[in-house]
Amino acid sequence: MLLIGIFCVLLIVILITTVLLLSQRNGEESDGKLYDLNNFSCPTRLPFTISSQFGNRWGTFHAGVDIVGVELRGSNIYTIADGVVARVIFTDEYNHDGNYVVIRHDDNIYSLYRNLSEVTVSEGQDVNKSTQIARFSDDDSGAFLHVGLYIGEFAKNENAINPALLIYCINQAVKQ
């Protein structure tokens, strides 16, 4: 009887954890997979601050987190996991989102890095976990990086997932 009780409690804990993880995803559908925080590395050095979190913001949906820190000015930005550079977009002075890079990882996960000063990779390039892909701005406005994660088709809000769920350093910064 005791073993059945312990089994039921474990089953309930697993079920609740799965529901909480999948509820952080913006879409209605789920791929049902659980991802390990240890598979993803930090996109920049520490310390940094999260200036804007994943979710509703100013009446719109913010499909990522914004990392800021004056001490990050001019420093490197790294990919969070092995993959292939799917897109590199260079913007002009009329687009305020800055240059951006999209990496396609295993399991149909895409990571987006936006507001980049200098891009150091090209489309089709294989990258390893922690490969430098760009640099933060080195101007007086301070460093700013938007990090987004998507499962499935990139850049659709319904496919966005909270980066704090998969990237440990962002998870810890959000908790501060």
Tens digit of pLDDT at every position of the chain (176 positions): 665 655 444 444 343 443 334 334 333 333 444 455 557 888 887 778 888 888 888 888 888 888 887 778 788 999 999 999 999 988 765 556 678 899 999 888 899 998 888 899 999 999 998 789 998 876 666 678 888 999 887 767 788 888 888 777 777 776 65
Tokens in use for 36?
Answer: 């390990």
Question: According to the model, what pLDDT value does residue 37 have?
Answer: 53
Cα(151)–Cα(115) distance, rounded to whole angstroms?
Answer: 21
Domain boundaries, the chain: 39-175
Count of beta carbons in the 10 Å neighbourhood of residue 113:
27
Say which CATH superfamily domain 39-175 falls into: Glucose Permease (Domain IIA) (2.70.70.10)
pLDDT at 6: 57
Residues 48 and 173: beta-carbon distance below 8 Å: yes
DSSP 162: -
Q: What is the pLDDT of residue 16?
A: 40
